[in-house]
Amino acid sequence: MLQQRGHTSAAPTLVTLHAHPDDEAIYTGGLLLRAATLGWRCVVVVATSGEGGRSPRAAVDIGAHRRAETYAAAKILGVARVEFLGYRDSGMAGDVLPPGALAVAEPAEVVARAQAVLDDEDPDLVVSYDLGGVYGHPDHLAVHRLGRGLSFAGALYEATINRVELAVLRERWLGRGMPEAAWPAGLADTLGMDHPGLVRMEVDRHFARKQSAITAHGSQVVEADSFMGLPPGVFHQLLATEWYYRVRCGGPAVAGLFEDGPAGRDRTVAAPTWPSPS
């Protein structure tokens, strides 16, 4: 079901490229849901099995566990095909790189592995990560290079976070009583991009399903809760909006995908309340 090859219908096709299991739900879950709802064929390519993630319990093959979680998430997101490129997670800064780590793989070889999927799918839109890999993880930087190295006729967008909006969010929360120390100024200065042309996409009515897809990555959810050291609640606020940097435009189907229709918001994201300073 999740490994159907090629597409036989005239439906437009979206391929999203990712470094680790759970990235597809966190960065592009809203877009995948919106595309699937509009009849697009959705394909997810994941370069590693996230072996550097938290182990759910002792003596578990983390890679196999996280691949299974990815298939479960893909079902929730309406994804028709999932492909793993077979690299190993490079882990966090300071970790010893395992053999086959994505961060040190030959870029042309990574491109060749993914190109086979693209040749098969002939996508209308490919989505990878911005030039900083959204938050600088070496595997995410490799996925940025991958997106720029592939050959295909369709549009290329890159998932990102709007750094300016993040700063606005911080100011708003400080105004609501968030202690300065909970989110030090500068913490988010390296996340995403500061660019006036970013495409904003509200997850809107797909928000609950996006959250379910993230929850399908049950072994990692605790970490996702404290994303990049941002205070609790910020991560969930971030999930409600997705940002994309447009590298190459596509046809009307791609433009329609990012158009905001009638607001059908059922956002369950509430700003947290902070204890008043004593």
**Count of CB atoms within 10 A of residue 104's CB?**
14
In three-state secondary structure terms, 150 is coil
Q: Tell me the per-residue interface mask from 13 to 52 with Zn ion, x by CB under 5 A, - otherwise.
A: ------xx--x-----------------------------
* Nearest distance from C-beta of residue 162 to Zn ion, angstroms: 19
Q: Considering the complex, state which of residue 23 and residue 158 has its C-beta at the smaller distance from Zn ion.
A: 23
* Nearest distance from C-beta of residue 90 to Zn ion, angstroms: 10
Closest-approach residue to Zn ion (CB): 20
Element (H, E) at 81: strand 81-87
* Nearest distance from C-beta of residue 214 to Zn ion, angstroms: 13
Please tell me the distance from the alpha carbon of residue 93 to that of residue 235, in angstroms, as a whole number. 21
Please tell me the distance from the alpha carbon of residue 177 to that of residue 101, in angstroms, as a whole number. 43
Size of the site for Zn ion (CB under 5 A): 3
Q: Beta strand 81-87 with 125-129: parallel, antiparallel or unpaired?
A: unpaired
Q: Tell me the per-residue interface mask from 160 to 199 with Zn ion, x by CB under 5 A, - otherwise.
A: ----------------------------------------
CB 271 within 8 A of CB 233: yes
| Nearest in space to 41 (alpha carbons), one of 148, 135, 122, 150 | 122
Q: Considering the complex, state which of residue 19 and residue 234 has its C-beta at the smaller distance from Zn ion.
A: 19
Beta bridge partners of 84: 46
Q: Considering the complex, state which of residue 23 and residue 204 has its C-beta at the smaller distance from Zn ion.
A: 23
Contacts of 258 (CB under 8 A, 6+ apart): 199, 201, 244
Does 121 contact Zn ion by CB under 5 A? Answer: no
Please tell me the distance from the alpha carbon of residue 278 to that of residue 269, in angstroms, as a whole number. 27
Q: Considering the complex, state which of residue 20 and residue 65 has its C-beta at the smaller distance from Zn ion.
A: 20
Q: Considering the complex, state which of residue 178 and residue 239 has its C-beta at the smaller distance from Zn ion.
A: 239
Residue in the structure block whose two tokens are 């999932």: 82
Q: Considering the complex, state which of residue 144 and residue 170 has its C-beta at the smaller distance from Zn ion.
A: 144
* Nearest distance from C-beta of residue 190 to Zn ion, angstroms: 15
* Nearest distance from C-beta of residue 20 to Zn ion, angstroms: 4
> Interface with Zn ion by CB under 5 A: which residues?
19-20, 23
